[in-house]
Structure 1
Amino acid sequence: MDFKNITVAGSGVLGSQIAFQTAFHGYNVSVYDINDEALEKAKKRLNGLKDVYAEYFKDEEKASAALKRFTFSSNLKDAVKDADLLIESVPEIVEIKTNFYKELATVAPEKTVFASNSSTMLPSQFAEYTGRPEKFLALHFANEVWKNNTAEVMGHSGTDKQYEEQLIEFARTIGMIPLHILKEQPGYILNSLLVPLLNAGQTLLAKGVADPETIDKTWMLATGAPMGPFAILDVVGLQTAYNIVSNEAKHNPAAQPIADLLKNEYLDKGKTGKGSGEGFYKYPNPAYLDPAFLKA
C-alpha cells in the first residue's frame, strides 16, 4: 500500500469527520462536494472539528496542522486527479450514488481505489458503474470517528482481496480499528445491530406509544447504554435517517409513517439533529445528558 493522497467525496456530517480523521493522521485530503455552498459548510465543519480533536487528543498543534492538508473542489475531475484512494460519503440515495460512480469512472486515475462509506447499501449494487469493480469495496465509519473508531472493511464478490488488505492497513494508519467483514451484509455488523434499534424506537414514536425521551430513558435505564435511539439519531442526523427510511418505504409500506413523521415534524421545521442545534433534543445541553434524566 502506498496511499498518500486521499479524496473524500461528500462533506456532510460523517464525510467531514472522515476527512479530518485522515488529515489528522498526516494524509493530504481533497474534499469534494457538489457546489461551493456545500464546500463552505464543509470548511466550517472542519474548523469545528479542529477544536474537537484538539480537546479530545490534547494536541492543539496536530489538530491545527490537519487544516493545512485540505484542498477543496466542486469539480470531481480536479478533486480526484491525484487520488490514491477515494472515500465516498454521498447521500444514502441509490440514484445519487449510481450517478456519482458513473461520473467518477470517467475521471478518476487508473490507480485510484474506490471505497464507499454507505451505511446500508452493498458494494455490489454499484460495482458495475465504477469501471473498476476489482478496486471497489466498502469502508464504513461510525459517527464521531475520533472516539468511535471502527472501520468496517467489506468487499463484494468481484473485489480483489489485495485491496481489502490495503484498506485494512490504511484504516490502522488513521487511528481506526479495522473490522474485516468476510461476506457482503447489508448494514455490515454495526448497522445490522443498530438500525433495528433505531427503527424500533421510531416505530414506537410514530404509533404514539411513547415520546422520544421516555423511549430513550427506558433503553438507557434497562441496558446501561449511554444513549437511547433518539439521541443516537440526533448524532447521525435526521436527514440521513429520513433518506434511509424513505428508501425502505419503497418496498415496506410500514416505514412510510416514520418517513412522514421525520419530514413533517422535524426536517421541515429545520430540526435536523445535533448539527443544527435541535432534533429530538435541543443542543448543546440535551436532556439525556442531564444527571436527573435517569432519576425518579
Structure 2
Amino acid sequence: MNIKIVTVAGSGVLGAQIAFQTAFHGYTVKVYDINDAILEKAKTAFQKLGTAYQADLNATPEQVEKAIQNLSYYTDLAAAVKDADLLIEAVPENPAIKTDFYKKLAAVAPEKTIFASNSSTLLPSHFAGATGRPEKFLALHFANEIWKHNTAEIMGHPGTDAAIFDTVVAFTKTIGMVALPLHKEQPGYIVNSLLVPLLGAGLDLLVRGVADVETVDKTWMVATGAPVGPFGILDVVGITTAYNINKIAATASKDPGQIKVTEYLKKHFIDTGKLGVVSGEGFYKYPNPAYEDPDFLK
C-alpha cells in the first residue's frame, strides 16, 4: 500500500511533532483535534517547530514553509480522516478516551485507512476490537523531540496483518525515522521499558525526601555522562503524560508509594499548571533550565 495522505489525531506535544515531521517530508497531513482553540495552539507549535528545524537540522525557510502548507486542520473527524491512508492517534494516554475515540473513528474512516496508536504504555490489543479493523491496527511510537530523537517503534498485536506492519515500517523510514520493529507486544515498547523505571525511581527518591530534584539529576548526569537527568526528561516528556501513566499504574497496583507519587504530581504540578517545557515551568523553569548551566555539575 502506498501511503500519501496522513491524518494525525491529537495536536498536543507529540501529536504536533508527528504532524510536522510528516509534513516536512512531503506528505499531505490532516491535523484533527476536538476544537478550534486547541488547533490554534497547534499552529503556534508548528511555527516554533519550524524554528527548531532550522536551528537543529539546517532546514531552509522554504522547507519550513512548504511543511506548513502541507498541513490542514479539522474538528470534524469524518472530514479529517476522509481519503486518509494512515491515521496516527496521539490522543491523551487514557484507556477510556482512546477506546471512545476508536469507536467513533471506526464509524467514519474509509476501509483502506490503517490505524496506528502512538500510546506510550498501552498495548494495541487493548483497543484492537474497538477499531473495527484489528488487522489494520498497530502501535507506532515516537520519542519526544522527534526531529532529533528520530526513533519509530512499530509494534503489532497478534491480529495485525504482516503486510500492514511492513507498510508502516517502510513509511517511518520515509519521514526520517530509524524504524525499530518489535516482534511481540511489550508495554512501553523498548524506549519506555528502559525510561519509565528511571523516571519512576527519580520521582520516588524525591517524594520520599531522599534527595531534591537538582541532586538526583546531577547524580545521573555526572555518573553516566547523560546530557539530562530524570526530572529534566520529565519536563520534556510533559508532566501531564507522566501523571496519567502513574495514575493508571497506581490504580492497578494499589502501591502506596506510587499513589503518593501520583498525588504529589497532581498537587504540585497538574493543579498549578506547571506542566514542563510546554508551559514554561515544571521541575525547572524554561527556556534556560538550571541543568544547562555550566556550573550545574560542579
Query: TM-score if structure 2 supplies the norm length?
Result: 0.98
Query: Which residue of structure 1 aligns with residue 230 of structure 2?
Result: 229
- Is the partner of 2:271 in helix, strand or coil? helix
**Contact 1:171/1:178 (CA < 8 Å) preserved in 2?**
yes
SS of residue in 1 equivalent to 2:159:
coil
Structure 1: gaps (5+ residues):
none
- 1:187-215 deviation digits (Å, cap 9, x = unpaired): 01100000000001111111111111110
CA shift at 1:253, angstroms? 2.6
Displacement of 1:129 after TM fit?
Answer: 0.4
Corresponding residue of 1:204: 205
Counterpart AA for 1:54? Q
> C-alpha separation between the residues in 1 aligned to 2:81 and 2:252?
35
Structure 1 match to 2:162: 161
SS in 2 for 1:140: strand
CA contact (8 A) 1:31 1:79 kept: yes
AA paired with 2:63? K
1:283 to 2:277 alignment: no
Give the match for residue 88 of structure 2: 87
Structure 2 equivalent of residue 265 of structure 1: 268
* Equivalent pair of 1:54/1:62 in contact (CA under 8 Å): no
Q: Distance in 1 between matches of 2:62 and 2:234?
A: 32
Unaligned runs of 5+ in 2: none
Distance 1:228 1:253 in 2: 27
- Does 1:6 find its partner at 2:17? no
- Distance in 2 (CA, whole Å) between partners of 1:190 and 1:146 is 16
Aligned counterpart, 1:48: 48
Amino acid at match of 1:66: A
Q: Determine if contact 1:83/1:109 at 8 Å carries over to the other structure.
A: yes
Q: Deviations over 1:209-243 (max 9, x none)?
A: 11111100011111111111100000000011111
| Partners of 1:206 and 1:91 in 2: CA distance | 25
SS of the counterpart of 1:283? coil
Distance in 2 between residues matched to 1:243 and 1:75, nearest whole Å = 26
1:38 is displaced (CA, Å) by 1.1
CA distance in 1, matches of 2:206, 2:77: 40
Aligned to 1:241: 242
Query: Partners of 1:103 and 1:212 in 2: how far apart?
Result: 42
Show CA shifts across 1:169-189 (max 9, x none).
000000000001001000011
Tell me, in whole angstroms, the C-alpha distance in 1 between the residues paired with 2:222 and 2:147. 26
Alignment of 1:1-296 (within 5 A): 1-59=1-59, 60-254=61-255, 255-295=258-298
Amino acid at match of 1:177: V
How far the C-alpha of 1:61 sits from its partner, in A, is 1.4
What amino acid is aligned across from residue 124 of structure 2 in structure 1?
P
SS at match of 1:188: coil
In structure 2, distance between residues paired with 1:226 and 1:64: 31
Task: Write the letter of the residue equivalent to 2:296.
Answer: F
CA RMSD of aligned residues (A): 0.7
Q: CA separation in 2, counterparts of 1:160 and 1:148?
A: 28
For residues 27-64 of structure 1, the C-alpha deviation after alignment (integer angstroms, 9 at most, x for no partner) is: 01000011111111111111111111122221221112
- Spell out structure 1 runs of 4+ moving beyond 4 A: none
SS at match of 1:294: coil
**Alpha-carbon distance in 1 for matches of 2:79, 2:128:** 22
